[in-house]
Amino acid sequence: MLDAQTLSMIGKGIIETLYMVIVSTVCAYAIGLPIGLILVVTDKNGIRPFPIVSKVLGFIVNLLRSVPFVILMISVTPLTKKIVGTTLGTSATIVPLVIASAPYIARLVESSIKEVDAGIIEAARAMGTGTFRLIYKVLIPEAKPSLIIGGAIAITTILGYSAMSGFIGGGGLGDIAVRYGYYRSETQILLVTVAVLIIIVQGFQELGMRLAKRSDKRV
Amino acid sequence: MDTNEPIISLRGVTKIFNTKESEVDALIDINLDIFQSEIYGIIGQSGAGKSTLVRCMNFLERPTEGSVIFDGQNLADLSLKELLKVRQAIGMIFQQFNLLMQRTVLKNVCYPLEIAGVPKKEAKQRAIELLEMVGLSDKINAYPSQLSGGQKQRVAIARAIATRPKVLLCDEATSALDPMTTRSILELLKDINQRFGITIVIITHEMDVIETICDKVAILENGRIVEMGKVEDVFVNPKSAAGKRLVFKSDEQFSEFESEKVYRIVFDGQSAFEPIISNMVAKFKAPVNILFANTKNIGGKAFGQMLIQLPEDRILTKQMLRYLEERSIKYEEVTQDA
């Protein structure tokens, strides 16, 4: 069986992972949500068409999205060092996590907002709603259930990325799995970390679905 | 305000949509005046440009050419901010109701008041009053998905008139409703028109809707207005082909009769709603075959038309026609190319 030391290491890993994932998700939403909204609003069929903005932004998003996370993680190390001061540990992992997931979140937000019935938007415009109020009084509230589901998808994706960062000393459960499971072939520890990851992913997924369902008033 | 000034005036309004391959003329040179407190119907088949036309009135669609004057202001001259203000003075309801699905009924009606900057408490009170007026005071905390189509449209109407607009635009507002509900919604609109003097513009493809509540009508076909005027005039004597098609829906049916003795008689409100045909039959003791009838009692006067077949006997026929003339009822012989 696992000894107390291993268990406490796994416990620490869980906390580190949750810290990385939650902080990264919050930061990534701070960047991705506005980008997603701008993509929808400035689209050529959007509320305030500005095709140049939406095309340039869309191109940057696609560019970042096409770089595999492992490579992105390595390529941004100089930036990470500048921001955090080190390239090792959980805080350092947050930088590539945010850079990789913000564009992903922008696309998730974009697709959620695009689900809002065009008729509702038209009615709001007919009532004299300006662009800004249309966004926060109509688009976001009407897309809320879909945005919450998007959030659950984003958080589980970021969790997956965070585990990958174990290969460059990122900390958390991924780091444990790499060091013990991969380099030392300690299968038992590997299996435990996998089980814990599955439980965390399922937890976030379930929570997201329930929140989305409860917030949705469309029956 | 001078009552002779139209509240909405369209001059030479043309709208062209540019698609990838071609240009589509949705509206061509539309000239239209709508006066205060009128109920103005715009009828046409789908694709005639009705929806585009009504959207030009609040600049949801900007005309390619021509001007839209609302309450003395040319909408094209307004800044975005001023335009938003004008839109608050023009309510609009839709075929699909377009309620905010994540807001309660009460919050839906509060929405335009929020946008207009009405204090929350005041807005809530006004919304409750309006919901009482449309007969939904027991549903204020329900969500739109819990309501029937007719109830949703009532909420939409309450929402549309919350800011006391001067005009209410109705885009196929009854097309998704059954006939009974349609009737009750039209009654509500009529009631609102009479109580508040709000001008109502109704877009529809149903002649019934026009007949029931409109004062004036414009017939739209392929982006052009082909006929306009008072409803009773257009209804009695449509001049355009499109108008005839709308009013005499059954032309195809009675063109089959080959007899020369088929007459269309028209009731244009000149005669009282009396049983003319049965009186005529009683007088001449000769049979009259009613092939088609579509008459309505509007304000105690007879409106509509009837298609009758008179006896073979020429003299009798002449006498009968004179009988109709004496009662100032217009008639015409129906020929095959009807």
| Cβ–Cβ gap A137/B114 under 8 Å | yes
Q: Give long-range contacts, CB 8 A cutoff, 24+ apart: B52-56.
A: B52/B15, B52/B26, B52/B27, B53/B13, B53/B27, B53/B203, B53/B220, B54/B92, B54/B169, B54/B171, B54/B201, B54/B203, B55/B171, B56/B10, B56/B13, B56/B15, B56/B27, B56/B30
Closest chain A residue to B103, measured at CA: A217
pTM above 0.90, yes or no: no
Render pLDDT for A195-205 as a digit per residue (tens, 0 to 9).
999 999 999 99
More confident residue, B336 or A118: A118
Render pLDDT for A119-138 as a digit per residue (tens, 0 to 9).
999 999 999 999 999 999 99
How many Å from the N-terminal Cα to the C-terminal Cα in chain B?
46
Task: Give the Cβ contact number of residue A48 at 10 Å.
Answer: 14
CA-to-CA distance for A59 and A171, rounded, in angstroms? Answer: 32
Assign 3-class secondary structure to chain B. CCCCCCCEEEEEEEEEEECCCCEEEEEEEEEEEECCCCEEEEECCCCCCHHHHHHHHCCCCCCCEEEEEECCEEHHHCCHHHHHHHHCCEEEEECCCCCCCCCCHHHHHHHHHHHHCCCHHHHHHHHHHHHHHCCCHHHCCCCHHHCCHHHHHHHHHHHHCCCCCCEEEEECCCCCCCHHHHHHHHHHHHHHHHHHCCEEEEEECCHHHHHHHCCEEEEEECCEEEEEEEHHHHHHCCCCHHHHHHHCCCHHHHCCCCCCCEEEEEEEEEEECCCHHHHHHHHHCCCCEEEEEEEEEECCEEEEEEEEECCCCHHHHHHHHHHHHHCCCEEEECCCCC
What is the predicted pLDDT for the residue at B192? Answer: 96
Looking at residues A139-165, what average pLDDT do you find?
94
Q: In chain B, positions 50-79, which contact chain A (CB-CB < 8 Å)?
A: 58, 60
| Cβ–Cβ gap A123/B94 under 8 Å | yes
A125 CA: distance to closest CA in chain B (Å): 8
Quote the ipTM score: 0.88
Residue-by-residue DSSP string for A8-47: HHHHHHHHHHHHHHHHHHHHHHHHHHHHHHHHHHTSTTSS
- In this structure, which amino acid lies at residue B58? N
**How far is the CA of B49 from the CAs of B43, B44, B55, B72, B336, in angstroms?**
10, 8, 10, 25, 32
Residues B89-121 as b/e (b if ≥16 CB within 10 A, e otherwise) read bbbbbbbbbbbbbbbbbbbbbbbbbbbbebeee
Write out chain B residues lying below 8 Å of A217, CB-based: 101-104, 143-145
**Which residue do the tokens 């005046």 mark?**
B33
Low-confidence ranges of chain B (pLDDT < 50): 1-2, 250-258, 336-338
Whose CA is closest to B184, among B214, B209, B215, B216?
B209
Angle formed by the axes of helices A4-41 and A187-215, nearest 10°: 40
Task: Outline which parts of chain B fall under CATH 3.40.50.300.
Answer: 8-246
CATH number at B250-333 = 3.30.70.260
Task: Give the Cβ contact number of residue B302 at 10 Å.
Answer: 20
CA-to-CA distance for A28 and A122, rounded, in angstroms? Answer: 30
Write out the two tokens for A161. 């990325």
Write out chain B residues lying below 8 Å of A48, CB-based: none
- Opening angle at CA A207, ends A202 and A209, nearest 5: 95
Is residue B292 within 8 angstroms of chain A, CB to CB?
A: no
Whose CA is closest to A88, among A16, A186, A157?
A16
CA-to-CA distance for A169 and A96, rounded, in angstroms? Answer: 13
Render pLDDT for B144-183 as a digit per residue (tens, 0 to 9).
999 999 999 999 999 999 999 999 999 999 999 999 999 9
What is the predicted pLDDT for the residue at B238? Answer: 86
Tell me which residue in A127, A133, A217 faces B101 most closely, judged by beta carbons.
A217
What is the predicted pLDDT for the residue at B299? Answer: 66
For chain A, which residues lie within 8 Å of any Cβ of chain B, measuring from their own Cβ?
Answer: 117, 119-120, 122-130, 133, 137-138, 141-142, 144-145, 215-219
What is the predicted pLDDT for the residue at B19? Answer: 80
Looking at residues A42-61, what average pLDDT do you find?
94
Task: Outline which parts of chain B fall under CATH 3.30.70.260.
Answer: 250-333
Backbone angles phi, psi at B301, to 5 degrees: -105, 150
Whose CA is closest to B95, among B176, B167, B2?
B176
**For all residues of chain A together, what is the average pLDDT?**
93
Looking at residues A162-180, what average pLDDT do you find?
87
CA-to-CA distance for A149 and A159, rounded, in angstroms? Answer: 16
Q: How confident is the model at residue A164 (pLDDT cuts 50, 70, 90)?
A: confident
Q: What is the DSSP letter of A128?
A: T
Contacts of A94 (CB under 8 A, 6+ apart): A20, A23, A24, A27, A84
| Cβ–Cβ gap A141/B100 under 8 Å | yes
CATH superfamily, with its number, for domain B8-246: P-loop containing nucleotide triphosphate hydrolases (3.40.50.300)
How far from the centroid of its chain's Cα atoms is residue A10's Cα? 23
| Cβ–Cβ gap A217/B99 under 8 Å | no
Cβ-Cβ pairs closer than 8 A, A with B, add up to: 80
CA-to-CA distance for A93 and B10, rounded, in angstroms? Answer: 62
Most confident of A161-165, A171-175, A208-212, B271-275: A208-212
**CATH number for position A53:** 1.10.3720.10
Domain that holds residue A36: 4-215
Q: What sign results for the dihedral spanned by CA atoms B144, B147, B152, B154?
A: negative
| Cβ–Cβ gap B115/A125 under 8 Å | no
What is the predicted pLDDT for the residue at B260? Answer: 58
Is residue B82 within 8 angstroms of chain A, CB to CB?
A: no
Whose CA is closest to B242, among B201, B205, B292, B211?
B205
Write out chain B residues lying below 8 Å of A119, CB-based: 94, 96, 98
Write out chain B residues lying below 8 Å of A120, CB-based: 98-101
Do the beta carbons of residue B222 and residue B27 sit within 8 Å?
no
Question: How many domains is chain A built from?
Answer: 1
